[in-house]
Amino acid sequence: MTCLPTHTDKRLGLVIDLDTCVGCQACVTACKEWNTGGHMAPLTDIDPYGGNVDGVWFNRVHSYEHTTEMGGRTVNFPRSCLHCETPACVTVCPTGASYKRASDGIVLIDEDKCIGCKLCSWACPYGAREFDTDVGVMKKCTLCVDRIYNDNLAEEDRVPACVAACPTSARHFGDLGDPLSAVSQLVAERGGVDLMPEMGYHPTNKYLPPRAHTTHAASVTASALEPVRAEGGFLGWVDRMLSN
Amino acid sequence: MHPAFSVVFFTTATGAGYGLLALLGVLAGIGAIPADFWLGLISMGLALGLIAAGLLSSTGHLGRPERAWRAFSQWRSSWLSREGVASVATFVPAGLFGMGWVLLGRTDGWVAVTGLLAAVGAVVTVSTTGMIYASLKPIAQWHSRFTLPAYLIFSAMTGSVLLNALLQGFAVGSKAMVAFSLLLTLVGWGWKLATWRYNGRLEIPTTANTATGLAGGTVRSLEWPHTEENYLLKEMGFRIARKHAAKLRQIIQLLAFALPVLLLVTAFVLPWPFAPVLSALAAVVQFVGMLVERWLFFAEAKHTVTLYYGR
């Protein structure tokens, strides 16, 4: 059913720290690697070694330059499904292929029911859904539903592949419906925000804005650099002799 | 938004078909159109043919058209599903009405009732089509109070110009019908101009700032996540027509509105055999113009995902 659940027991999602993300793309490749064999497999690549590379990815990392009166900075910005509370991508689906789970709030697609009308991708303001032209159905992030409940994995590995891969711990996974969970407290502490709140989709995933610029510059200046090329002549000889 | 020709043709053809069907149902039902066999066959054939061709065309852009039957199931939440249900349901009264008119040679009694029901079905179906677009929040140019009336007005407009051409062709036309189609074309013209004016002044609250959650200042795209265009950019980042929007708008005004108005005014004044030829020409020119209009409707629409790409 594409009608939304009135209540979800949990609100599983991600918290992404824009302060610590270094834009290394590890989460992107880890996501692709896991999911091309996972719940929504395959993540088809079209012409992967040619001039018109295209393919399905659930997670894409942009880089932006954010300039304010405090100065400018580079912000790396991972973009994936936000598992919204009121996802219009689900309600517009004419076939019932798209659904939001009442148990944990994860938004999924039943690939066997999808007719590939693409309307859900039009309804998503965030560009979270990507069409697989090879299979003819829509695909999207599953929040690694086949990892987080997977008893075959060690308990510490039962997190989405992107979270497991992040070398700077910029990605956090948990229940955002529980105000006492670590992710909820992180959001409260760091002032986590919704993307495009004016759209009214109530995304579950939160983004932690970069920390404010510090006014304290480093107080210890580095010593002046030595010339790389050795000096010639008498003084150079003295320098070499005394350096030994 | 990428203007897939299958969808452009679908909405234009079904719009004209349902407009014609609704007018036939109402006008034949109240006895304003004679129960002539050939007139019934050709006009109902044209109306249902346009609708069927449009609906078939719409399946052309599906990834898995063999599963299209599933689209009738989610009418509780999905306007696309409602459109599917309404379009198929409308075939029932339309089919009965057509059979009564063409086979039994009557447009009174129960045939008139099915005609009116077909008209209701046509209006409902066109409304669901309009709501598919009007309900999409990420596309500000569509998510406006202009979209639904536009679909209804353009459907009535193209349908009335077609009906006028048919009635003129069977020598049962009237000055009133010419005037009616002329009036609707003027209304359509005015609505399109008002829509463009509204869209030109649109202040969209969603910006690169709200899209990234980075408050204040400017957010400039430094680097895309990928080097080539992906599905999002191909489907939602279509930009070719925006570059030529001014020219395309002139073409639309000329073909969809100005020329049909001129032709219909001339048809109003001139007698047989000029009036039927001019009326038919108006219908053809307007249909072509409306295809361009629908193409630009898609191409000019800007999806919020383009903000992530600095477009």
A9-40 pLDDT, tens digit per residue, is: 999 999 999 999 999 999 999 999 999 999 99
Nearby residues of B206 by Cβ (< 8 Å), 6 or more positions away: A125, A196, A198, A199, B140, B304, B307
Phi, psi of A34 (to 5 degrees): -70, -50
Instruction: For residue A209, give both structure tokens.
Output: 């804005």
Structural Rg of chain A based on CA atoms: 24
- Of the candidates A53, A64, A95, the beta carbon closest to that of B71 is on A95
Rounded CA-CA distance B250/B218 in Å is 35
Per DSSP bridges, beta strands A12-17 and A171-175 are antiparallel
Cβ A116–B64 below 8 Å, yes or no? yes
Predicted ipTM?
A: 0.94
Domain range enclosing B255? 5-60+72-309
Q: How many CA atoms lie within 13 A of B53 on its CB side?
A: 13
Give the model's pLDDT for residue B241.
66
Looking at beta carbons, which residues of chain A come within 8 Å of B85? Answer: none
For chain A, what is the mean pLDDT?
93
Question: What residues does each domain of chain A span?
Answer: 12-208
List helix spans (H) across chain A. Answer: 26-35, 88-91, 119-123, 145-148, 161-165, 182-190, 233-243
Residue A123: closest C-alpha in chain B: B136
- Of the candidates B74, B231, B232, the beta carbon closest to that of A95 is on B74
Looking at beta carbons, which residues of chain A come within 8 Å of B208? Answer: 64
Q: Are B118 and B93 in contact (CB under 8 A)?
A: yes
Q: Would you give the end-to-end CA distance of chain B in angstroms?
A: 13
* Pairs of CB atoms within 8 A across A/B: 204
* Prior bond of A125 cis (ω within 30°): no
∠ CA B85-B89-B91, nearest 5°, is 130
Could you give the dihedral angle defined by the CA atoms of residues A116, A36, B235 and A88, in that order, rounded to the nearest 10 degrees? 60
CA A181 to chain centre: 20
On whether residue B67 sits in a domain, the answer given is: no
Chain A: give the shortest CA distance to residue B300, in Å.
Answer: 14
Looking at beta carbons, which residues of chain A come within 8 Å of B222? Answer: 63-65, 74
Rounded CA-CA distance A58/A64 in Å is 19
Give the model's pLDDT for residue A1.
66
On whether residue B291 sits in a domain, the answer given is: yes
Q: Are A207 and A18 in contact (CB under 8 A)?
A: yes
Average pLDDT score over residue span A90-114 = 96
Instruction: For residue B104, give both structure tokens.
Output: 């039994």
Looking at beta carbons, which residues of chain A come within 8 Å of B221? Answer: 62-64
Which of B114, B77, B79 is closest to B95 using CA atoms?
B114
Instruction: For residue A49, give both structure tokens.
Output: 């070694």
On whether residue B288 sits in a domain, the answer given is: yes
Residue A116: closest C-alpha in chain B: B63
Q: Are A176 and A85 in contact (CB under 8 A)?
A: no
Range B166-186 burial, b when 16+ CB lie within 10 A, else e: bbbbbeebeeebbebbbebbe
- Of the candidates A115, A123, A198, the beta carbon closest to that of B67 is on A115
Nearby residues of B217 by Cβ (< 8 Å), 6 or more positions away: A66, A67, A68, A69, B209
Which of A177, A101, A195 is closest to A143 using CA atoms?
A101
Secondary structure in 3-state letters for A86-150:
CCHHHHCCCCCCEEECCCCCCEEECCCCCCCCCHHHHHCCCCCCEEECCCCEEECCCCCHHHHCC
Nearby residues of B29 by Cβ (< 8 Å), 6 or more positions away: B107, B111, B112, B113, B115, B116, B119
CB-neighbour burial class of residue A76 (10 A; exposed 0-12, middle 13-18, buried 19+):
buried
Which of A162, A87, A145, A96 is closest to A121 using CA atoms?
A87
Q: Are A189 and A208 in contact (CB under 8 A)?
A: no
Which numeric CATH code is attached to A12-208?
Answer: 3.30.70.20
CA A51 to chain centre: 27
Residue A95: closest C-alpha in chain B: B71
Beta bridge partners of B228: none
Q: How confident is the model at residue A221 (pLDDT cuts 50, 70, 90)?
A: low
Residue B237: closest C-alpha in chain A: A127
On whether residue B65 sits in a domain, the answer given is: no
Q: How confident is the model at residue A239 (pLDDT cuts 50, 70, 90)?
A: confident
Number of domains in chain B: 1
pLDDT in tens, chain B (311 residues): 998 899 999 999 999 999 999 999 999 989 899 889 999 999 999 999 999 999 999 988 899 999 999 999 999 999 999 999 999 999 999 999 999 999 999 988 999 999 999 999 999 999 999 999 999 999 999 999 999 999 999 999 999 999 999 999 999 989 999 999 999 999 999 999 999 999 999 999 999 999 999 999 999 999 999 999 999 999 998 877 677 888 999 999 999 999 999 999 999 998 778 999 999 999 999 999 999 999 999 999 999 999 999 98
CATH value at residue B175? 1.20.1630
Cα separations (Å) of A66 from A37, A114, A125, B216? 36, 39, 21, 9
On whether residue B219 sits in a domain, the answer given is: yes
Give the model's pLDDT for residue A218.
62
Which one of B67, B72, B233 would you mutate to disrupt binding with A, by most A Cβ within 10 Å of its Cβ? B67
On whether residue B29 sits in a domain, the answer given is: yes
Instruction: For residue B216, give both structure tokens.
Output: 């204040």
Structural Rg of chain B based on CA atoms: 21
